[in-house]
Amino acid sequence: MKLLVTGGAGYIGGTVAGLLVDRGHQAVVFDNLSHGRQDLLPQGVEFILGELADRSHLERIFTEAKEQGSPFDGVLHFAALIEAGESMVKPEIYFRNNTASTLSLFEAMLSSGPRKLVFSSTAAVYGEPEVVPIPEDARLQPTNTYGESKLLVEHMLRWMNQIHGLRYASLRYFNVAGAPESADGGITRGEAHEPESHLIPLILDVALGRRQSIRIYGDDYPTPDGTCIRDYIHVSDLADAHLLALDALESSSRLIFNLGNGKGFSVKEVIESARRVTGHPIPAELHPRRPGDPAFLVAGSEKAIKELGWKPRYTQLDDILRTAWAWHQQRYNK
Ligand SMILES: NC(=O)c1ccc[n+]([C@@H]2O[C@H](COP(=O)([O-])OP(=O)(O)OC[C@H]3O[C@@H](n4cnc5c(N)ncnc54)[C@H](O)[C@@H]3O)[C@@H](O)[C@H]2O)c1
Ligand SMILES: O=c1ccn([C@@H]2O[C@H](COP(=O)(O)OP(=O)(O)O[C@H]3O[C@H](CO)[C@@H](O)[C@H](O)[C@H]3O)[C@@H](O)[C@H]2O)c(=O)[nH]1
């Protein structure tokens, strides 16, 4: 297959692009490098510098590929702004970049591209859950505008499917972590957000001496130790699910799956795990809650396991942290 990978210069899109190439597919990354890194692109991946909002550029890419006799078979759409906290300060850039610009991609696909898409959705579409682990048919009520910007795309997709026959899989990732290991155990890429806002790399910064301490955003949530609980899923397990979803779109036209481990860990438990893995004491400081954070997000992923045949391999938080730590040390040459 030949696939356009929007946002493929980023953490997850780059990992999936690498897996596509490993499995003999052709991956063309389309990214504006606002948060991505061209130097971290996996080998064998083609790169196009481009802006998602630029519909005519996307149309040209699709049309030229057809004219050259090698049309795209589908699109994997990762390009987005991803920080829930920032989205509560600057909602407009989230609706512009994640929602409005995605409509440009849909328009380009409808006019000259493939009609098959895998969309990076998020656990943030659920908001504060009523049922845990969260099933796919749970109430959708985001508590931050990042989640809302993605939910609006899911709504658009439902209509694009119904009216234009655009086939899609919406994959609702929970908290993605860790670094991909090659068959010989080597690690060549991982999380490199700039600026970094995610809990695990920030904790590892403390272990490397790049930060003094980790901030804990709130310990007065209704959870056993008062800190927020999240479901951490390894990026390679997540990548596998994308290939399975592409296969499943051969026989289904509309798919929605949660992708998580089904186990929740509090902020304090993640810090404990990092202390075990790194051997560093990792001092922590208590700070007020971060606006928009739900207390508890844990996935029910049985649907993906049953219907896609998905088998997550990294089920232990320490194993996920171990790969993240190996990458983090390598990234900063320690
Ligand atoms: N990291 C997580 O835990 C997580 C969880 C749930 C969902 N997601 C979703 O997964 C996707 C990938 O996340 P990530 O962690 O790899 O983030 P990332 O920031 O590493 O990658 C996103 C990429 O998209 C590019 N991009 C952003 N806006 C663009 C635009 N307008 N045009 C072209 N390129 C653009 C950036 O330059 C970057 O390379 C996102 O859609 C995110 O919402 C991530
Ligand atoms: O320095 C920090 C950073 C984070 N946290 C907390 O750690 C938890 C996890 O936060 P973070 O790593 O920023 O991830 P989330 O805000 O849960 O969001 C991630 O996971 C979501 C799915 O659950 C995705 O949609 C988002 O794109 C992705 O950024 C939250 O409770 C934060 O309040 C801290 O206490 N201190």
Global ipTM: 0.98
Tell me which residue has its CA closest to atom 21 in ligand 1.
Answer: 10
CA-82 nearest atom, ligand 2? 27
Find the mean pLDDT for residues 75-79: 98
pLDDT-derived band at 72 (thresholds 50, 70, 90) equals very high
Tens digits of residue pLDDT in 80-102:
999 999 999 999 999 999 999 99
d(CA 109, CA 72): 10
Name the average pLDDT for the chain.
Answer: 97
pTM: 0.98
Find the mean pLDDT for residues 107-134: 96
For residue 175 and ligand 2, the question of a CB distance below 6 A is answered with: yes
Tens digits of residue pLDDT in 142-179:
999 999 999 999 999 999 999 999 999 999 999 999 99
Residue 214's pLDDT is what? Answer: 98
Tens digits of residue pLDDT in 10-19:
999 999 999 9
Decide: 238 and 182 in contact? Cβ < 8 Å: no
d(CA 21, CA 37): 18
For residue 235 and ligand 2, the question of a CB distance below 6 A is answered with: no
For residue 231 and ligand 2, the question of a CB distance below 6 A is answered with: no
pLDDT at residue 333 above 80?
no
Nearest ligand to the C-alpha of residue 32? Answer: 1
Whether 332 sits among the annotated catalytic residues: the reply is no
Dig out the tokens for 56 from the structure.
């005519």
Instruction: Kindly tell me the burial class for residue 161, based on how many C-beta atoms sit within 10 Å of its own C-beta (0-12, 13-18, 19 or more).
Output: middle
Kindly state the percentage of the chain with pLDDT values over 90.
Answer: 96
pLDDT at residue 211 above 70?
yes
For residue 217, what is the DSSP state? E
Find the mean pLDDT for residues 103-119: 98
Residue 334's pLDDT is what? Answer: 58
Decide: 225 and 219 in contact? Cβ < 8 Å: yes
